[in-house]
Amino acid sequence: MLISSHRLPKGLKDKVNQKVAKISGLLLGAVTPERQSALPKEFELSPHTLYKRFRSTHYGIMVPDLPEPFRYLSWASVLGYVGFTITDTNYQMSKDGKGDTASLVHGTALSTTSEAYRTYSIKNDIKFSQNPFGINFDNQTILHEQGDGFVLITKREDLELELYLKPTKAISWFAYSGLYKHFSVLMQYEGHIKQKGNSEIVQGLCTLESWKAIATSMLKNKWLVENIQLPVKVFSYQVINIDHEQQLLLAFICYEDQPIMTSDGTSIQYNGDILFEVTSLQPEPQITPDNFSMNVPNTFRWVAYHNNQKVLDISAHVDTPYCFGLAAGFVSSYAWQGEFHDQALEGRGYLEYIDRR
């Protein structure tokens, strides 16, 4: 069944799922438009390992519109599996279990899954520094604080880059509660990238995001830790640069088809109706490394209203191979066209997509 945020509940099961979705959103602190302006404008990137109440951390740097042939950059990690269907797989897990497992998908349109996707032991392979902040993935890729910004350095056989990231004042909160804190910061970047004989000096807008969250690995019963998964099964997160100053963040999460959160914006979260719908699937499903057959979008659409006015209406076509490794799903890139504030535009977007139904 095609994903749509406007899908109406048809039976008792759907109605129960819709109710669970609403309760889940409240418990996780899904941020509503009226809360956005009151939340902190500062951020910090310390990992969950420094806290007793969290067991999972996410760091992500996403560039949606690199020049050809790169198209996009994904640097997205999950440190400590959460216990959701969309976040956990048993593929290449640490011998110490979910709580010690970290995954990272790091690549471009030129990357294959085997090149981009790695898993790590948090205890043995990842090093943190606190002041200034830094995270080192087994000396393959490093993000560290430097001056008033950050530096991302990667030295892999298939990919080399060095990007300098400068935060803007635009911070968006997706969730803010004692159980889950998740934000994104609009960043300006510049640097260079080299992959498979292609080299470019690059600059523009990207996003840096992070979460800290509770996880099922906090449970004392080992069987429950290894076997329970909260059935949040569908997720998509997307980034679009409108111009050299404006960026759209588009997110869709649902519980058994029913949405928990659909939000977009940078420092403004739209307060009206938002539609995300997959309009066609690719002919063949993607097979994940843990042998799950996943249907993925070929085309999709976003429509958003703010203050009773339509502000966004775009159609997109995924024209880049999917690459596994974003939690239990894929990353890719797409071409889009449509209208933003009544202005006809087109461009490229970054796509994360998981459908584990």
CA atoms within 13 A on the CB side of 85: 16
Whether 175 is covered by a domain: the verdict is yes
Whether 101 is covered by a domain: the verdict is yes
Q: How confident is the model at residue 9 (pLDDT cuts 50, 70, 90)?
A: low
Q: Among residues 25, 7, 9, 26, which one has the least CA distance to residue 17?
A: 9
Residue with tokens 């350095």, as numbered in its chain: 153
The 3-state DSSP class for residue 36 equals helix
Instruction: Tell me how far apart the alpha carbons of residues 133 and 137 are, in angstroms, rounded to a whole number.
Output: 14
Instruction: Tell me how far apart the alpha carbons of residues 274 and 272 are, in angstroms, rounded to a whole number.
Output: 6
Report the phi/psi class of residue 307: left, alpha or beta, with left for phi > 0 and alpha for psi in -120 to 50: left
User: pLDDT, tens digit, for every residue of 244-298?
Assistant: 989 999 988 875 444 444 444 556 788 888 899 999 999 999 999 999 999 999 9
Q: Which domain, by its residues, includes 103?
A: 12-355
Instruction: Tell me how far apart the alpha carbons of residues 266 and 211 are, in angstroms, rounded to a whole number.
Output: 17
Q: Among residues 276, 290, 243, which one has the least CA distance to residue 353?
A: 276
Whether 1 is covered by a domain: the verdict is no
Report the phi/psi class of residue 92: left, alpha or beta, with left for phi > 0 and alpha for psi in -120 to 50: left
The helix or strand, by DSSP H or E, that contains position 16, with its residue range, turns out to be helix 12-28
For residue 84, how far is the Cα from the chain centroid? 14
User: pLDDT, tens digit, for every residue of 203-247?
Assistant: 999 999 999 999 888 887 777 777 777 767 888 999 999 999 899
Amino acid 65 reads: D
Q: How many folded domains does the chain comprise?
A: 1
Q: Residue 59's CB: how many other CB atoms inside 10 A?
A: 20
Give the mean pLDDT of the chain: 89
Whether 6 is covered by a domain: the verdict is no
Strand pairing partners for 12? Answer: none
Whether 202 is covered by a domain: the verdict is yes
Q: Give the mean model confidence (pLDDT) for residues 137-161.
A: 97
Instruction: Tell me how far apart the alpha carbons of residues 79 and 228 are, in angstroms, rounded to a whole number.
Output: 18
Q: Among residues 250, 176, 212, 164, which one has the least CA distance to residue 59?
A: 212
Backbone phi, then psi, for 19, in 5-degree steps? -65, -45
Q: Give the mean model confidence (pLDDT) for residues 8-31.
A: 69
Whether 3 is covered by a domain: the verdict is no
Whether 275 is covered by a domain: the verdict is yes
The pLDDT of residue 175 is above 80: yes
Note the pLDDT of residue 261: 41
> Is-contact 250 242, C-beta < 8 A?
no
What tokens does 328 get? 């239990």
Whether 124 is covered by a domain: the verdict is yes
Those residues with Cβ within 8 angstroms of residue 120's Cβ, 6 or more apart along the chain or in another chain: 94, 101, 102, 103, 104, 126, 137, 138
First to last CA, the chain: 10
Note the pLDDT of residue 159: 97
User: pLDDT, tens digit, for every residue of 83-125?
Assistant: 877 887 888 889 998 899 999 999 999 999 999 999 999 999 9
Note the pLDDT of residue 221: 77
